[in-house]
Structure 1
């Protein structure tokens, strides 16, 4: 019988080793073939939360001290998001259907309510026991994502040879890490103008993008041992950032990069900027980071345009996930 879930107030090395054991076993069971992040990378993510948020951690052990389940509850400090929480909960495959998940979810839910949250979201692999677990506990699906993978040695020949053809009225620029001062204000406006997107339904508000938040985010990525790469399209007429694409080189996953946001401002759409930006990023990764062999990205199923762009670049579907939301209103 698992022990009662207790928050990890001062986790030590053994706690992180146990956490990694649960995560690795669950990943191998639920998504066979997916690479397992290194323990150091998992620890860095848990101890370095995203800007404007903090993590509350639980590690559940069995009667023999074997790790049984983990949960990370993300609470937000910004007023626009303070009533929303996100949770990542994992039960070791050998301990499922024994009550550990239900008890842990009850504990996490009460903690979110006590923090003043009115909703909570979580993401699970589609078609797994986790999806059924949530449906049976009043969670509602809000976003379905298709995760795609691009093997860089399988990039279609037309894309591989795609020259950096000028787009009339625009120029490309790129940076590593924090946005340069000269572009910071324009990039913050572009991030804010495209915030929400198809995945916005999973959120109850979002903190405003400004220069401070951009730089804080870049510092968090760096502290985790990762690298943030950005390519942006700048409008020649007024110097505004018209679109951008971001990619992270994660720690603990040799050979794989993770595509983050790609967006084009509404007034600049229809000019082929999305494909131009992502093709430029592929060239940059190939030239500057030869150890990267594949890129993974997640795209909302209702974002047909970006799915089409990714398909044209050679991305192929690998797995699907569902984001669920729970209403925490007291009845």
Structure 2
């Protein structure tokens, strides 16, 4: 089989060059099913196209490994999507992401190969090409990546590898982790993936009642769907920034991010263009009129089966009043009202964030795999294809 690597052409999905994003999305779907047992959360072609259109805050490069006129090894649907323009078969892809406003030393690198095409040198060639792009970016010194997995191994499993922080385990024998070690990028931290099966139990209503009592009368809740009123944009942006300051990321070479109202407008516009909706519950401190806590759920209007729990943050001065539990319970109740057909909600938490993990466990979230966060000096990454 002959394959080649090229930069993914950019075009709307109805443009002839849209084959690349459809192909990448299909590869991601196959990889998600193989590596974590579900394609929930795999990026859509529309999301990929939107993310590549406006790069105000983040420069993105995408490479694709293609087979001209190829057919899948498993006899399934071509990863290139069978586009009318007759685009080549996409069998793998590589990604480079570089922040443009903060963390200017960081390069996010990622490689994926469709399962039927693994162990043919495609991943190695993609990795080398992505690393070369990263090294050509001025000032980038640290490479970050991740490997997702379907289940955490038992503590006594012979291949169980504990994160350097002491929290979280991954199988050292996972193909993605073996590949990363070959490249010279090592395990730094583990994030837990959890799932909440719906409908929720009566315990969530009880938790909300207890949280309201603990919060007291000084807080007013706001619930917003698919928008944030202009009056509150700067306040919510400050909460997003607070999260980048407070979220524990032990060992990761990352810096706090700056968020403002304009960045929030940009984020909301991109979510809408990508076909995403959201529910957001925020707590206002009545005496000061400031937002001091918030949480967000993301969903696809045309895909009812699942939603994704995103940001939950409480500013330090208002912790200890169960505001995190309160906003999450209220947001979940609103989600049940507007998305009654949803079957499950996914979320991610660093294994080194015991407080938020405890809230999620109390609400009924259960472990369902996770992600190994990987890091290395960019200069130290090894060449894989020779």
**One fold, TM greater than 0.5?**
yes
Root-mean-square deviation (Å): 2.5
Alignment of 1:22 with 2:27, yes or no, is yes
- How far 1:258 moved relative to its partner? 0.7
Query: Who is 1:186 aligned against?
Result: 235
> Does the 8 Å CA contact 1:147/1:318 hold for their aligned counterparts?
yes
Gaps of 5+ in 2: 12-16, 71-88, 150-170, 382-386
Alignment of 1:91 with 2:113, yes or no, is yes
Query: Who is 2:204 aligned against?
Result: 159
Query: Who is 2:63 aligned against?
Result: 58
Query: Who is 2:384 aligned against?
Result: none
Distance change in 2, residues 1:171/1:200 (3 Å) = farther
Query: Who is 1:70 aligned against?
Result: 93
Query: Who is 2:158 aligned against?
Result: none
> Does the 8 Å CA contact 2:50/2:270 hold for their aligned counterparts?
no
Distance change in 2, residues 1:194/1:207 (3 Å) = closer
Distance change in 2, residues 1:320/1:83 (3 Å) = same
- How far 1:288 moved relative to its partner? 1.9
- Matched residue count: 329
> Does the 8 Å CA contact 2:108/2:143 hold for their aligned counterparts?
yes
User: Could you list the per-position Cα deviations for residues 260-311 of structure 1 after superposition, in whole angstroms to 9, with x for gaps in the alignment?
Assistant: 1101111111111111110001111011222322211001001001110000
Q: Give the TM-score normalised by the residue count of structure 1.
A: 0.90
**Does 32-41 or 296-305 show the bigger shift?**
32-41
Query: Who is 2:298 aligned against?
Result: 248
1:1-331 alignment, distance < 5 Å: 1-10=1-10, 12-35=17-40, 37=42, 39-44=44-49, 46-48=51-53, 52-62=57-67, 65=70, 66-78=89-101, 80-116=102-138, 117-126=140-149, 127=171, 128-153=174-199, 155-160=200-205, 165=212, 167-168=215-216, 169-196=218-245, 197-199=247-249, 201-202=251-252, 204-250=254-300, 253-329=303-379
**Does 63-72 or 268-277 show the bigger shift?**
63-72
Distance change in 2, residues 1:215/1:42 (3 Å) = closer
Q: Which has the higher contact order (CA 8 A, sep 6+)?
A: 1
User: Could you list the per-position Cα deviations for residues 92-131 of structure 1 after superposition, in whole angstroms to 9, with x for gaps in the alignment?
Assistant: 2122222111111011001011012212211212433111
Distance change in 2, residues 1:193/1:47 (3 Å) = closer
Give the secondary-structure state (helix, strand or coil) at the position aligned to 1:19. Answer: helix
> Does the 8 Å CA contact 1:39/1:252 hold for their aligned counterparts?
no
Question: C-alpha separation between the residues in 1 aligned to 2:2 and 2:193?
Answer: 33
User: Could you list the per-position Cα deviations for residues 206-242 of structure 1 after superposition, in whole angstroms to 9, with x for gaps in the alignment?
Assistant: 4301111111111111110101221111112211211
Question: C-alpha separation between the residues in 1 aligned to 2:255 and 2:136?
Answer: 20
Distance change in 2, residues 1:280/1:49 (3 Å) = farther
Give the secondary-structure state (helix, strand or coil) at the position aligned to 2:103. Answer: coil
Gaps of 5+ in 1: none
> Does the 8 Å CA contact 1:38/1:252 hold for their aligned counterparts?
no
- How far 1:41 moved relative to its partner? 4.1
Distance change in 2, residues 1:25/1:75 (3 Å) = same
> Does the 8 Å CA contact 1:41/1:252 hold for their aligned counterparts?
no
**Does 215-224 or 289-298 show the bigger shift?**
289-298
